[in-house]
Amino acid sequence: MRFYNRACVLVENQYENLELWYPYWRLRELGLEVDLVGPEDEKVYGSKEGYSCTSDTPVVTALERDYDVIVVPGGMAPDKLRRYPNILQLVKKVHDEGGIVASICHGPWVLISAKILRGRKATCVSAIKDDVVNAGAEYHDVEVVVDRNIVTSRTPKDLAVWSSAIVKLLEARGMK
């Protein structure tokens, strides 16, 4: 498998601050280029805690790039992100090309709408457990679930374990 040294993190209003920035900085620390992709380029999005994040890559540009990993943070942003066909197309593209799809908290809503969770094992915040199960996934109430190239987690308290699982997958794929 080819390694591109590139990742993207999705952003939309009401994102969970830690679930966006913790993996962003961890992936940067590993030497990956990390794009912040929102529905609009160079737009300032607010977290549910009041912090801001400016998208730096248009979705159409992201669709032309190859990514080793895509991160879908939680908060209420996923409820908005799943309404954008280009965002869903990007998630599905990364998944179908074998890239890592990392999702936490409410993030699996995006995976459901991208139609990549059916028949897979996953975890999430308890509030959307029924959505995950109804989408055809096998739910597990644990810190992190790795099912091939999908890595899911529940809440910010699971960030360290979730991020470690992402790093292990990247290392197994030949991260330089």
Which sequence positions are flagged as catalytic? 105-106
The structure tokens listed for 80 are: 């908005």
Q: Are 149 and 141 in contact (CB under 8 A)?
A: no
Please enumerate in sequence order all residues whose Cβ is within 8 A of that of 128, keeping only pairs 6 or more positions apart, or say none. 106, 108, 109
Instruction: Please tell me what DSSP assigns to residue 92.
Output: H
* CA–CA separation, 70 and 36 (whole Å): 10
Q: 69-72 and 100-104 as β-strands: parallel, antiparallel, unpaired? A: parallel
The structure tokens listed for 165 are: 């699982």
Torsion angle of the four alpha carbons 92, 37, 106, 45, in this order, in degrees rounded to the nearest 10: -160
Which of helix, strand or coil describes residue 119?
A: coil
